[in-house]
Each structure stands twice: as structure tokens, then as C-alpha cells.
Amino acid sequence: MRGPHNIWRLIRTGATFIRSGSMRAALEAMNAPPRLRALAYAFSAPFAWIGYKGDPNLPPVTRAITALGPAYIKFGQVLSTRPDVVGEELADQLRVLQDKLPPFSTEIAKRTIAEEFGAPADQLFSEFSEPVAAASIAQVHAARRADTGEKVAVKVLRPGIERAFRRDLDAFHFAAAMIERLSPASRRLRPTDVVNHFESVVLGELDLRLEAAAASQFGANTKGDAGFMVPQPAWNLSARRVMVLGWAEGLPLGDREALIGAGHDTVALGERVLQLFLSHALRDGYFHADMHHGNLKVAANGDILAYDFGIMGQIDEYTRRVYAEILMGFIQRDYRRVAEVHFEAGYVPADHDVDDFALALRAVGEPIFGMDAAHISMARLLAYLFEVTERFGMQTRTELILLQRTMVVVEGVARSLHPSINMWEVARPVVEKYIRENLGPRAALRDLRRSLHVLSRFGPELPELLKSAIHARGDTAPERVETSRWRGLAYLVAGAALVAGGVLLGSLL
């Protein structure tokens, strides 16, 4: 129910931040404009008494977010990877949202396992630990399978999580609708579509069978990637509310000091995590869309271990090529080409000037080149990017939301390991390889072969299609029927030529 009752929910959100004493810190960290700060206090301060109390043992902002529910926690997880946006102090506070939230009891977890599999947990597992990690949607236990003796990670959904998420999403839908109604200028950002997209992603996270399938697919795609490993699911022990994966043993990627102490090269790790993400997104079109510190470890041999596959992103081949051309344009500092690609893809309305857009993009890209990442204000850069999208009437591309969000998160993870990283320089070899393999002459021949193979499947149907077309015009004048027959014959010959060409090209490539 997305009705006005959600106004109360939104007011309570502000009231919770007031009550926890974190409203000022949150607004300052987000660099909110003075008018927004005044409105936030005006609507929330009188209702501070109805705000959720939260866990007094947590830092103020984290306390408010955890009290508000899982959807807010998801947002906090993203911010925890961006100390350059929210500041080091707040980022450290928010890091507990990744995998250190208060757990629910082990007995409840065992009861859930018994309900899903029809057998007691102690019968399925010879060992079963207390929670080793707890996040917004589920918690993880270390266990040992009774049948094989293998050490595994058992992931169990939080009780009542589905209802809690739907309540938050309901409020988000209401807020998006109100924003569109009260601010017509915001419609180009498509807040309703954005929330719809977020909902589809989150609800997929609530079925662990889908996460098991994602782990299996991701593992198959990346099995040849050096320095990267994906634990695989135990299908006979995976259900809607419980999932079992191979155990990932390693140090948390977010603990830089521990990684250095263990002899790992954090500079190389930072570069590798960024290159792996780009490779998965461009090469496979299927990528881990929740690559924050809490979902990555480093094995003793230096391999990066990824887990938690509840949110995965997919982008089609055309979009991958557009994305690669945009990245390559920035890498080469060819802002005119970057602008042209945006216009060609329809990301910028055609009534705008491509040269003006190229100039605006230069103002985005140039400050990054030749500057130590530690001196780049990502908050100011993102604010300017927002101004550019508003000026040129760019609508939000919902199909790219996960990609853009994950790019921000991964770059933040890479910076935490390698503070002076230059993402453009690190991305260059991955993007160049993709373009070489997918935008050159050989790629054009491969595309042609695919098209011809599709047409060849219609070969047996061409005579019937021709006959139907002729009969459909049987009531036309005789001379026009004759013309139609000759045209149909021409189509048949052309179709046969395409079929033959497809077979020939397929044998050559």
C-alpha cells in the first residue's frame, strides 16, 4: 500500500536521525545544501520522540540506519566504501554494516534449516558455529557437512526480512511518486523507475536459490581469471531461505593493515579488484554488483575471494560496447568522441549541442588526470556530474544503475587499498583488450555471422512466407499481383543467398 501513511514513515526516518544525534553528521557528510538541511530539521525535529532508539552501543549514524531497516542498511553499505564522499570517520562507522550487524540466535537459524530441508541441522552438519558474519538480509555460520566432512558457509535469511524490506520499499515508492509530483524537473531522473529497479534487485536477494545459481554462473564465467576465486554452492543443501557455499578462507579485503602484515601487496590488490570488475562487466556482461569490502577476502596465496552473490548485474552486448567506448574516450582524453557516443546511444537528447557537451565532459575528466587520487574530491566531482546531467536533460538509465553504482563502490574499495590509484590508467589495458576483440574488423565479421545464422533458421519457412504474401494480395489488380510475385521471388533469392552466406561464413570463422 503506497498511500499517505508513508508520510509518517518518512517523518520517522528523519526523527530517528534526530534522536540518535546523527542528523547533523549525516547531512554534513553528504554535503547537503543549507535549504535541504533546514527542511530536514523542520520536518523531523518536532517528532524526535517517535524516532527509533536503535542500539546505543553503535556509533550515531550506524545506530540510526540499523534501526530503520534493511533497505537503509543497503544504502549505508554503499556509502561505507566512499570515505572521499562521506569522510573517513563516517565511512569507518558505516563499515560495520557490511558484515558486523547484530546477529539473530543460532537456534532460530537451525530451526529455519530444519524447516527448509525437513531434517535437523545437527543431522546435516557435524559442526555448526555461532554466527561468523551478520549483514542486512542474512547471517553466515561456519559448518562442516556430515556427509563429506567439507567445511562450508551456511547462509540463513533473517526472520521476517521479507516483510521488513517490503515496508521500506513501500515508503521509497511513495517518496519517489511525491518527488515526481512536486518537482517536475526531477522526472528526468526517473525516481519511480529507479525504485522499481532497486525493488527487483532486492527481492531477488530474498530467494537464496537464485543466489546459488548466480554463484554457479559467476564461477563458470571467471574460472580462468588469474588471482580470483568464487566458492561454489552445494545444490542439495540450498533452498529459498538457506544456502550452502564452499568456505572462503582469507583476510578481509577491508583490513589493509592486516593484509600488509601478512605480506600482501595492497597496491596490486587495489588494481586487480578494479580490473576484475571491468573485465567481468565488459567481457561477460555479468558482474558482482555488491563488491564492497565485506564481500571480498584475500586468500593466503594472494587470490581475491568473492562471495555473497545476492546482487548480480547484467548488461547486453550493445550497452557494453557503448560503455567501453565511453571509458576509452576518457582514457584517451577524447572528450569529443565521448560526447558523440552519448548522442549516438541516445543518452543525451538530440536537440543539445555535442560540442557543448564535450566541453562539460572535459571539465569532469581533466581534474582526474595527473592528480593523486587522494587530492580528488569525489563529492565535488559527483555534484558537478549531477549538474551536467541536469543541464543536458539526461534521463536516468535504469539498465545502467547497477553498473554505475558498482563502479563507484569498486573504485572506493580500490582506493582503500591503493590511495593514489588512477582508475583511468588501471582500466586502460582491460578496456583496450575489449575494444580490440569486440569493435574491430574481426568483431564485425562475428556479428555478421551471428546475423546470418539467425536468418538461416528461417530458410525452410521462406517458400511458405512467400506463398502467404502472394495469396494475401490475391484481390489486387493482376499487374500488381505479377509485380508482387516478382518481388517475392527476389526476396526468396535474397533469403537463399543469406542462408548460403551464413553457412559459408560460419565455416570460415
Question: Is position 290 annotated as part of the catalytic site?
Answer: yes
**Active-site annotation holder among 84, 170, 290, 308:** 290
If phi > 0 it is left, if psi is from -120 to 50 it is alpha, else beta; for residue 420 that is alpha
By the 8 A CB rule, do 66 and 58 touch? Answer: yes
Q: Helix, strand, or coil here: 392?
A: coil
Helix (H, G, I), strand (E, B), or coil: what is residue 242?
Answer: strand
Exposed, middle or buried: residue 27 (CB in 10 Å: 0-12, 13-18, 19+)?
middle
Find residue 154's DSSP bridge partners: 141, 244
State the DSSP code for 132: E
3-class SS at 368? Answer: coil
Grid cell for residue 505: 561464413
Residue (of 246, 271, 270) closest to 259 by Cα position:
270
Pairwise CA distance, residues 140 & 156, whole Å: 6
- Per the CB < 8 A criterion, the answer to whether 273 and 256 are in contact is no
Look-up of cell digits 587530492: 375
How does DSSP classify residue 46? G
Q: Residue-wise over 338-360: b if at least 16 C-beta within 10 A, else e?
A: bbbbbbebebbeeebeeeebbeb
H or E, element range at 348: none
Q: How many residues does the chain have?
A: 509
In angstroms and rounded to an integer, the radius of gyration of the C-alpha atoms of the chain is 27
Contact residues for 317 (Cβ-Cβ < 8 A; gap 6+)? 285, 438
Which residues does residue 314 pair with via DSSP β-bridges, in sequence order? Answer: 286
For residues 32 and 476, give the distance between their C-alpha atoms in angstroms, rounded to a whole number.
70
Q: Measuring CA to CA, how many Å separate 429 from each of 104, 191, 432, 461?
A: 45, 35, 5, 46
Q: Which long-range contacts (CB under 8 A, 24 or more apart) does 471-476 make?
A: none
Q: Which of 452, 463, 459, 467 is nearest to 496 (CA)?
A: 459
In whole angstroms, what is the distance from residue 133 CA to residue 245 CA?
14
Catalytic positions, written as ranges: 290
